[in-house]
Structure 1
């Protein structure tokens, strides 16, 4: 059986990264790209340059994982090593063995209270755990350090137990006793097995059928003097020849679907590679210098050729709305992404049940609300003004204003202020969105 090769980015603190890397390197499926971080604010800047070199990311804990996930920028699978019971047992043993500190005089973070109590019960340790700061997602090192420090300064605890390295370093600067929970090898191995299974699944997915629907207009590059039918026919033949060259590069087959419209049947993996995981459009050389003639392109992913062709049609129609030369991708999970190669590229739902219910309160479609939701997620906040929304959605500012006013009328948005980008321009209303 062929062994899959996974380019795995591993991002962790200086003390946890070597532990994780030593386990991962025991598996022949991985090519490791280790990255050390010292501050949560630099995580995305460390990840971005490796976007095209990494198939999946493994993080040393839930904080860096949450920062990457919530950014909406990372489109490959993400994993993190949980701080399991084995990790905590080791730390508690260290605290008691070195300084005889009872559990009741320690402050903890990350874990849920019930989780710690259950671990102690399994070890037949009957001590209260009064000080735990549980959190979901990300948290700042300063907030965690302040929580532990305040308890220690008040004499309620003798030391802290933290899962976050940056908080650990912060507390050491403050001069308080602190113990760091490091990942257990067993926890790393469990996550590694999940990553391998995910890689195998994605390998199978790459063999799925993908369909590319392209519309070309050869007359756009024809000079006014060359409007004879013979000249136009020659231009169409030339465009078809270029498409055949491109089709060969994606190992597909070309089919004419009407005047100026073509369908290419290929595989998901081929188009994924050609578009850098659906982020960019192929280079001019890869497209056989066909750029000027492309009106719109839609890529469809599906479990069958028929389903992929239907998805390609949806993507194609969305591309037409985005302007000449736009590329869009419709996936088999009901989401659509694009325009490829643009800074305002987003991935949004074509309409789940919740969005359909919200759409029923307005004249807007569930797809429009899904696009708006994706824009807000990419921006990292739920406040926006019409001109910004127009840029992201590829529509006119007046259309964006209509969307925002429609949401406001339905109670799904409120005007919270104004901004004046130009000294003499009219102020622009800023809206807070409630989806």
Structure 2
């Protein structure tokens, strides 16, 4: 079987690029690369923005170009070798034993505090007078330069250690003793291996079969047993044309399943890479007819699995509301409605027989329970009311209260408080539902 090679864009200053590319040569059977050298790290955003069509993944020399790359529109995988104690050890040995400089008073930026102290301890070096600039989540070059420069000018440090090429070059022009921590060969090999493994996983997922089931309801309610009325036939052709256009846009294969029912086979990668949203299709169908339309999407390793999951997804969409879509992933997780920003993810399986029996006593399916749990997680305050469940799961408040009270009786949920009603009436109970792992079963 032919190996599909990944093309990596390698970005950083010249010395780091040279080393990373040298290590990348060890992976020529799996990896091609294009190197992009910058003078300043803030050039990374433009580099990634203008060259994302040339590469599959990006490998950066460090966290600073990685942060700048995040400002681009690229959705490709980003990687960088993390600097750690082994990276610092190389510089400390050079400072102490090659250049014979004092390491009692040192300023260090961006490295993790525990890595620094452990490295000094392992090398039997004193670390009473270390000045550390910890990474705050973004890189302020001028602030880091001032940090080192001020400490040196005030006589508090004799040596500065930086992880940034820009800071290194600037401090050198001021004749400040400065050393730069760079990735070790082991760091680089580790991140290349990680990148290749993640790419293979991603490529496998992108190759999975995707099915999209579209159903326009009630189209055949009034049709004659033997003939399709001309108006219905014209409407079906118009809907079919919209579905075919969508199928073509995602490089899919189109199948008609009957009046108002259509099936598209494509790949997971095509859906993701084209950026086409199923909401666009539902909007087009809504413009053609006011009949309720729904979509079920699924991924699977085989056409049979994908189609079965697609029918499950369509069923969830039909039971939720008109003009919505649900997705069933290859791991069995259901997500939706996809056409709304507020969506939930839930499973429809459980391997716990005792827990399943408790739910049966409540008259609640595992799917409904997982939906309730997902809503609680989505709300974010670890609590629920019957009105919230009724709104999310499209049921009556009375039915929602019945379900929640049944869960309380079986020890799956608890009442944790009450809230005042918005109008006259009894206070509303506030519930907390436990997940399957936290519920005691005898």
Distance 2:61 2:266 in 1: 38
Aligned to 2:420: none
Return the index of the structure with the highest Cα Rg: 2
8 Å contact from structure 2 (residues 296, 311) kept in 1:
no
Residues 4-50 of structure 1: CA deviation (Å, up to 9, x unaligned): 32122222233312211221233121222323344444433332233
Does the 8 Å contact 2:376/2:384 carry over to 1?
Answer: no
Paired residue total: 337
Query: Are 1:142 and 2:142 an aligned pair?
Result: yes
**Residues 310, 163 of structure 1: CA spacing in aligned structure 2 closer, same or farther, 3 A cutoff?**
farther
Where structure 1 has 5 or more consecutive residues not aligned to the other structure, the ranges are 218-227, 283-289, 322-326, 340-344, 369-435
CA distance in 2 between counterparts of 1:148 and 1:173 reads 13
Higher RCO (C-alpha 8 Å, min separation 6): 1
Residue 328 (structure 1) shift: 9.7
Q: Secondary structure at the match of 1:195?
A: helix
| CA drift at 1:356 | 2.6
- Segment of structure 1 superposing worse, 146-155 or 260-269: 260-269
Cα deviation for residue 53 of structure 1 reads 3.7
Determine helix, strand or coil for the equivalent of 1:262: strand
Deviation at 1:360, TM superposition (A): 5.2
> What is the distance in 1 between the residues matched to 2:25 and 2:79?
17
Q: Structure 1 pair 353/166, CA: closer, same or farther in 2 (3 Å)?
A: farther
- Per the alignment, in what secondary structure is the counterpart of residue 26 of structure 1? helix
1:190-238 CA-to-partner distances (Å, cap 9, x unmatched) read 1111111112212321232312245789xxxxxxxxxx95476357447
- Describe the superposition over 1:375-425 as per-residue Cα deviations: whole angstroms up to 9, x where unpaired: xxxxxxxxxxxxxxxxxxxxxxxxxxxxxxxxxxxxxxxxxxxxxxxxxxx
The 1:308–1:26 alpha-carbon spacing in structure 2 relative to 1, beyond 3 Å, is: farther
Compared CA separation, residues 198 and 152, structure 1 to 2 (3 A)? same
Q: CA deviation at 1:346?
A: 8.2
Judge conservation of contact 2:236–2:259 (CA < 8 Å) in 1: no
Deviation at 1:254, TM superposition (A): 2.2
Residue matched to 1:128: 127
* Cα shift readout 1:43-75 (whole Å, capped 9, x = no counterpart): 333322334443222221123324445x59443
Note the alpha carbon deviations across 1:136-174, whole angstroms, 9 max, x for none: 532211121111111111111122111112222332344
Against the structure 1 CA distance between its residues 10 and 101, is the aligned structure 2 distance closer, same or farther, given a 3 Å change threshold? same
Matched, 1:185 2:188: no
Cα distance in 2 for residues equivalent to 1:174 and 1:120: 27
Shift in CA distance, 11/331, structure 1 to aligned 2, threshold 3 Å: farther
Does the CA contact (< 8 Å) of 2:297 and 2:313 recur in 1?
yes
* Residue equivalent to 2:22: 22
Query: Does residue 378 of structure 2 align to residue 355 of structure 1?
Result: yes
Alpha-carbon distance in 2 for matches of 1:119, 1:328:
51
Report the Cα distance in structure 2 between the residues aligned to 1:281 and 1:44, rounded to whole angstroms.
Answer: 27
Residue aligning to 1:115: 115
With structure 1 as the length reference, what TM-score do the two structures score? 0.62
2:48, 2:72 within 8 Å by CA — same for their partners in 1? no
The CA distance in 1 between the partners of 2:182 and 2:321, in whole Å, is: 48
* Aligned residue runs from structure 1 range 8-407, under 5 A: 8-28=8-28, 29-69=30-70, 71=71, 73-97=73-97, 99-122=99-122, 124-128=123-127, 130-214=130-214, 229-230=229-230, 233=233, 236-237=236-237, 240=240, 250=251, 252=253, 254-256=255-257, 259-273=259-273, 275=274, 279-280=275-276, 299-301=297-299, 304-305=305-306, 306-311=308-313, 320=323, 354-358=377-381
Q: Return the alpha-carbon distance in structure 2 between the equivalents of residues 203 and 54 of structure 1.
A: 14
Q: 1:32 to 1:109 in 2, by over 3 A?
A: same
| Two-structure CA RMSD over aligned residues (Å) | 4.4
Three-state SS of the structure 2 residue aligned to 1:81 is coil
The answer (yes or no) to whether the contact 1:247–1:254 under 8 Å persists in 2 is no
Contact 2:207 2:267 in 1 (8 A): yes
Match of 1:285 in 2: none
C-alpha change, 1:12 and 1:202, in structure 2 (3 Å) is same
Conserved in 1, the CA contact under 8 Å of 2:296 and 2:312? no
Instruction: Mark the CA change 1:313 to 1:270 in structure 2 (over 3 Å): closer, same or farther.
Output: farther
For 1:59 and 1:334, locate their aligned partners in 2 and report how far apart those are by CA, in whole Å.
Answer: 35
- The corresponding residue for 1:4 is 4
Cα distance change of structure 1 residues 167 and 313 upon mapping to structure 2, 3 Å threshold: farther
Q: Determine the C-alpha separation between the residues in 1 that align with 2:72 and 2:94.
A: 39
Seen in structure 2, the aligned counterparts of structure 1 residues 202 and 96 have a Cα distance that, compared at 3 Å, is: same
TM-score, with length taken from structure 2: 0.61
Question: 1:112, 1:46 → 2: CA distance?
Answer: 28
